[in-house]
């Protein structure tokens, strides 16, 4: 493997790329609430993606499965912070980004809050409209401050 191929593989397998991939698969949750659907979508996208790994042991799948397992808790948290916006009124792209980011903030102890927020905002810039990043940033920042202060039984630093 030459240098270009190695760096390309490393770049393709970055956590940011896995996160973007996980977002795309999780987006399907808005249309089907089935783990089998998530697996099918994951496997279908995996064949077309540049990510390596043909099994369910990737960083992307860990996010997908974690969001699936904690969906009710994540939606409850998002509801608490999206004042004047019921979950049904939040655009599907933003809701998916919020679920993914809040999952990383709440359940991934090795994920700094600031990184989870920044990655969520980057996903909003990439997949959302012009207002997405401000909406996502506002909610994630508020959730992050409360996590930092131990509101959810955990305390993490920015």
Residues 44 and 20 in one domain: yes
Residues 59 and 75 in one domain: no
153 torsion bin: left (phi>0), alpha (psi -120 to 50), beta (else): left
Residues 80 and 156 in one domain: yes
Domain end position, chosen among 11, 36, 67? 67
Q: What is the mean pLDDT of the chain?
A: 85
The pLDDT, as a whole number, for residue 134 is 96
Q: Which of the four pLDDT bands, split at 50, 70 and 90, describes residue 158?
A: low
Q: What are φ and ψ of residue 37, in 5° steps?
A: -65, -40
The pLDDT, as a whole number, for residue 53 is 54
* Angle in degrees, CA 132, 135, 140, rounded to 5: 115
Residues 58 and 136 in one domain: no
Residue 109 CA to residue 62 CA, distance in Å, equals 13
Q: Which residue range(s) make up the domain with 158?
A: 70-158
Q: Which of the four pLDDT bands, split at 50, 70 and 90, describes residue 3?
A: very low
CA atoms within 13 A on the CB side of 47: 5
pTM of the model: 0.83
Residues 143 and 76 in one domain: yes
For the chain, the domain total comes to 2
Give pLDDT tens digits for 77-96.
999 999 888 999 999 999 99
Residues 61 and 91 in one domain: no
Q: Give yes or no for residue 66 having a pLDDT over 60.
A: yes
Residues 55 and 75 in one domain: no
Give pLDDT tens digits for 123-142.
999 999 999 999 999 999 99
Find all residues with CB under 8 Å of 60, minimum gap 6, and list them. 18, 19, 21, 22, 25, 42, 51
Axis crossing angle, helix 59-69 with helix 92-107, rounded to the nearest 10: 100
Q: Which of the four pLDDT bands, split at 50, 70 and 90, describes residue 45?
A: confident
């Amino acid at each position: 493997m030459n240098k270009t191929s190695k760096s390309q593989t490393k770049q393709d397998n970055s956590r940011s790329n896995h996160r973007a991939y996980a977002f795309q698969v999780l987006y399907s949750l808005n249309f089907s609430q089935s783990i089998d659907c998530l697996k099918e979508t994951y496997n279908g996208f995996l064949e077309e993606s540049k990510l390596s790994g043909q099994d369910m042991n990737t960083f992307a799948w860990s996010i997908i499965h974690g969001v699936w397992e904690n969906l009710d808790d994540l939606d409850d948290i998002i509801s608490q912070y999206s004042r004047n916006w019921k979950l049904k009124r939040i655009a599907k792209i933003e809701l998916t980004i919020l679920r993914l980011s809040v999952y990383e903030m709440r359940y991934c102890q090795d994920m700094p809050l600031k990184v989870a927020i920044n990655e969520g905002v980057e996903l909003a810039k990439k997949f959302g409209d012009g207002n997405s990043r401000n909406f996502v940033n506002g909610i994630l920042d508020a959730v992050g401050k409360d996590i930092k202060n131990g509101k959810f039984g955990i305390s993490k630093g920015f």
